Structure 1
Amino acid sequence: MKNRPFLNRLGFAIQGLREGWQREYSFRAQVMIGLIIALSVVLLGASSIWLAIVGLAIALVLGAELFNSALETLVDRLHPEIHPEIRVVKDMAAAGVLLICLGASARSFLSMPSPDPGKWIGDHVPAPRGSTESARRLLAMTRPVGRTLVEQYLRNRGITALSETSALRYHPRCYYRADEYAPTETWPAMIAAVTDLSGKLTGAHRTWLDPGGFSEANLGRAPLSTPRRAMGNLLGHAVRFGAGSDVMVAGEGIETTLSVRSAMPHVASMAALSAAHLSAIIFPDTLRRLYIARDNDPAGYKAIATLLARIRAVGIEAIMLTPRLSDFNEDLRLLGLDALTARLKLQVAPQDVPRFMSSAD
């Protein structure tokens, strides 16, 4: 094989795989086990780096098995008689395969996502339920939303402008319990990082999603009694999209805030996660004008009144943004982006239209 063209050598390697499959039962068995492990890791939602590590481990096991089989075949050919030293050679080669299998199994096990955000991590001390530390550990088990159910969920709700949304993450198997006595369930979830003005994590918000898809009944959320929950220190803080500046948008929900941002893609935005938290949101010192994306409900009216009093007391200009329907996401889904953009242009300060809405035309 030395100095042969690459394609010839590749053909020899493929022939070796074929011979190993046809002759060696152990090789066939390990191929099947490797496929089962790989499929399990994919179904459990492991990240791409872990998939690569598991694939490498499987390849090492199969390579070691082929090398062991080749060595045994060569030894049997050269020394067909039974000899104690030949037995030692075969046993040591088999032991090498066993060690690689054990190492690969351990690595595959470590690649599985941690099943419970309340489990011990790092310093092996369980974090208090609902604490900022629990939120940090939960976010550590998530991955970006690109090409996940979260991206599909947002697009189904009409939200396609996903730039500067790194605060949103995806968890494939987020734990859910209806109450402390209910059994634990696992559902895919959108996890949102709640941060303070400096960007420090203070909490997290979970939206459990329906893997079965979108419907007008549940809007893509899981069929649970409370498909949205928050944890950590939320008061005054928010889920943030874009860097804070002199002009910002503040809204209650993530979907509402992102819907406004679909029409105003260049404005920094904050989702306070509830009407009560919206009224208590903390503003950056640079803020000079705040657009308040209100919801058309009684809780929203009361929160707006409290927020307006706070804003005006510190000399910040407040401009109300009012949806045509119940909230801005409903406007976006049912009326369309063009209608939403046209409505907001009538409410936004004229000088901010070219600044924040230029690419929404």
Structure 2
Amino acid sequence: MTASASELARRLGEHAEAVCREYLCNGHRSGNYWIVGDIRNTRGRSMHVRLRANARGPAGRWVDEATSEFGDLLDVIRENCGLVEFRDIADEARRFLSMPLPPPQHQSQPFGAQCQPAAKRGSPEAARRLFAMSQPIAGTLAERYLAGRGILLSTHERAVRFHPDCYYRNLVTGEMHTLPALIAAVTNLDGQITGLQRTWLDPSGQGKALLADPRRSLGDLLGNPIWLGHQPGAPVPIMAAGEGLETMASLRTVMPALPVAAATSANHLAGLNFPPGCRRLYIAADADAAGRHGIERLSQRAGESGVLALVLRPQLGDFNDDLRHLGPAHLAAWLHDQLVPEDARLFLSAG
């Protein structure tokens, strides 16, 4: 946890009962603890928040005996305000600490009294909030990261953005800090953001951040991909789809006129929603056997919908490997014989 986070958590702990009455209002005080169902403010007795420091630890620390989750009051604010970024969490904590604090009360409020429902964890609303706080990638570490992988995207691509201080939580230790991140919007066919994918980056510019899981997604993902080159509501007679953002952005680099969709996982690829007017679908494969189910299921669904599905196969591990190690000209030549001739003339000549 950063120094600023530690200080905010300590200050919130000094007013732990007031914090609980504000953000965990469906609970009640019992001795030195605030008792509530869970961190999302449901009714129950599983979660205990320590109200005053004692030999067991500082004030404000909590544990959920049902799930073994634990944390501090910053986590409580994050969950109950539906926040994603540490900056927003800190702002809300500072706002609360600047308010006149009510005197301690020894009688709990009636269930639901003056209590706002908790925001849904990992919701599309949280995704839209984070995407709105991000910025275009031009001149940023995100553009440098993509260029380092041989990927060149048009400035008109709206799905990919950059956030310089994206909140990251270690799921094992509970520690949190901020890192720069590539932000990719997951949208439905109407162009509405339903989720997003975060790729945390090494601040030095050397690829992804050195984290156990430098890439995470949130929101409503099933059926909805990261679209590159798709205008919401417009017919898409020919398109390509695959799992990874870098894989699909690599195809887009050599075929910039071809709309592509990155489904983020094999399961989500299998459930991809077809855009209106789609008649031919190229599915980008890779050397990972785990993705075969997604390809097979998507091909089956395409056939049932009257869409011709054709599989594109890389020479190396995936199409980004081909782009980086063999070059765009070699990748274009390799794709030429896998495309329908009229598509090869249309999309490869445009590249």
Short-chain TM bin: 0.5 to 0.7
CA contact (8 A) 1:118 1:129 kept: no
Residue in structure 1 matched with residue 205 of structure 2 by the alignment: 213
CA contact (8 A) 2:286 2:318 kept: yes
Tell me by how many angstroms 1:164 deviates: 3.8
Residue in structure 1 matched with residue 126 of structure 2 by the alignment: 134
Q: 2:330 aligns with which of 335, 339, 349?
A: 339
In structure 1, what is the Cα distance between the partners aligned to 2:132 and 2:349? 36
In structure 1, what is the Cα distance between the partners aligned to 2:91 and 2:332? 45
Alignment of 1:342-357 (within 5 A): 342-357=333-348
Q: 1:298 aligns with which of 289, 292, 295?
A: 289
Q: Does 1:239 align with 2:231?
A: no
Residue in structure 2 matched with residue 157 of structure 1 by the alignment: 149
Structure 1 residue matching 2:131: 3-state secondary structure: helix
Tell me by how many angstroms 1:280 deviates: 0.5
In structure 2, what is the Cα distance between the partners aligned to 1:161 and 1:152? 11
CA contact (8 A) 1:175 1:184 kept: yes
In structure 2, what is the Cα distance between the partners aligned to 1:241 and 1:326? 22
Residue in structure 2 matched with residue 225 of structure 1 by the alignment: 212
Letter in 1 for 2:327: G
Tell me by how many angstroms 1:120 deviates: 5.7
Q: 1:329 aligns with which of 310, 320, 324?
A: 320
Identity %: 46
In structure 2, what is the Cα distance between the partners aligned to 1:308 and 1:130? 30
Residue correspondences, number: 241
Q: Flag the 1:147–1:318 CA change in 2: closer, same or farther, 3 A.
A: same
Q: 1:311 aligns with which of 276, 280, 302?
A: 302
- Cα deviation code 1:92-143 (max 9, x no counterpart): xxxxxxxxxxxxxxxxxxxxx971479769xx98633211111111112111
Alignment of 1:82-101 (within 5 A): none
Structure 1 residue matching 2:165: 3-state secondary structure: strand
Q: 2:164 aligns with which of 164, 167, 172?
A: 172
Structure 1 residue matching 2:87: 3-state secondary structure: coil
Tell me by how many angstroms 1:293 deviates: 0.8
Letter in 2 for 1:115: R
In structure 1, what is the Cα distance between the partners aligned to 2:256 and 2:290? 27
Alignment of 1:231-270 (within 5 A): 231-243=218-230, 245-270=236-261
Larger strand proportion, structure 1 or 2? Answer: 2
Structure 1 residue matching 2:216: 3-state secondary structure: strand
Structure 1 residue matching 2:189: 3-state secondary structure: coil
Q: Flag the 1:266–1:246 CA change in 2: closer, same or farther, 3 A.
A: same
* Higher alpha-carbon Rg: 1
CA contact (8 A) 2:239 2:280 kept: yes
In structure 1, what is the Cα distance between the partners aligned to 2:89 and 2:164? 12
Q: TM-score, normalized by length of structure 1?
A: 0.64
CA contact (8 A) 2:303 2:309 kept: yes
Q: Flag the 1:343–1:142 CA change in 2: closer, same or farther, 3 A.
A: same
Unaligned runs of 5+ in 2: 1-84, 94-115
Letter in 1 for 2:248: T
In structure 2, what is the Cα distance between the partners aligned to 1:262 and 1:118? 39
Tell me by how many angstroms 1:181 deviates: 3.9
Tell me by how many angstroms 1:358 deviates: 1.2
Residue in structure 1 matched with residue 54 of structure 2 by the alignment: none
Letter in 2 for 1:190: L
Residue in structure 2 matched with residue 106 of structure 1 by the alignment: none
- Cα deviation code 1:37-69 (max 9, x no counterpart): xxxxxxxxxxxxxxxxxxxxxxxxxxxxxxxxx
Larger helix proportion, structure 1 or 2? Answer: 1
Q: Does 1:190 align with 2:182?
A: yes
When the two chains are superposed, the root-mean-square deviation of aligned CA atoms in Å is: 2.0
Unaligned runs of 5+ in 1: 1-112, 215-219
Tell me by how many angstroms 1:213 deviates: 2.1
In structure 1, what is the Cα distance between the partners aligned to 2:342 and 2:266? 28
Q: 2:87 aligns with which of 98, 115, 133?
A: 115
Tell me by how many angstroms 1:165 deviates: 1.9
In structure 1, what is the Cα distance between the partners aligned to 2:175 and 2:317? 35
Q: Flag the 1:324–1:253 CA change in 2: closer, same or farther, 3 A.
A: same
Q: Does 1:204 align with 2:191?
A: no
Q: Flag the 1:281–1:119 CA change in 2: closer, same or farther, 3 A.
A: farther
In structure 2, what is the Cα distance between the partners aligned to 1:152 and 1:344? 26
Q: TM-score, normalized by length of structure 2?
A: 0.65
